[in-house]
Amino acid sequence: PVPPTDRWLLIGDETALPSIARRLEELPLGTSVTAIIEIADEAAELPLSTPAGLHLLWRHRRAAAPGCTRLLDQAIESLDAPLLAGEIWIATEIDTARRLRSHLVEERQIPRARVHAAGYWRLGEAGAHARIEG
């Protein structure tokens, strides 16, 4: 279930697209959501629908391999404080998810309880999945 809040920040890569799409569909009218999604290129962009107010930021890694860029880090570091005011959901490569969560909690001072992170895969390892806590 999606915790009730009027602002969401969703962060992920293409492995998280089905979950991001589902979350967007579940958000009620009046919710403000920013989604930052790392994908290969423009051809990988998908139409996403939501009754919420959506600000969608695609980050294209071009020729770089999945899990080998800092595109999501750079996007998060550039966000203004109001975009960090609600619940934050992260789903991407395990080490990237840990790094992003750590940045948000330790450097941006976001309460741990508002930053929900999961590693959907690990670079070079088949079948990895982890819930990121701490």
Q: What is the pLDDT of residues 81-114, one digit of tens each?
A: 988 999 999 999 999 999 999 999 999 999 999 9
Question: Which residues face 34 on adjacent strands?
Answer: 9, 55
**What is the DSSP code (8-state) at residue 2?**
P
pLDDT for residue 120: 85
Domain around 76: 7-132
pLDDT for residue 134: 58
Q: Is there a domain that residue 32 lies in? A: yes
Do the beta carbons of residue 35 and residue 10 sit within 8 Å? yes
Average pLDDT, the chain: 91
Q: Is the dihedral of CA 88, 92, 94, 96 positive or negative?
A: negative
26 pLDDT exceeds 80? yes
Q: Is there a domain that residue 92 lies in? A: yes
CATH number, position 30 = 3.40.50.80
Q: What is the pTM of this model?
A: 0.90
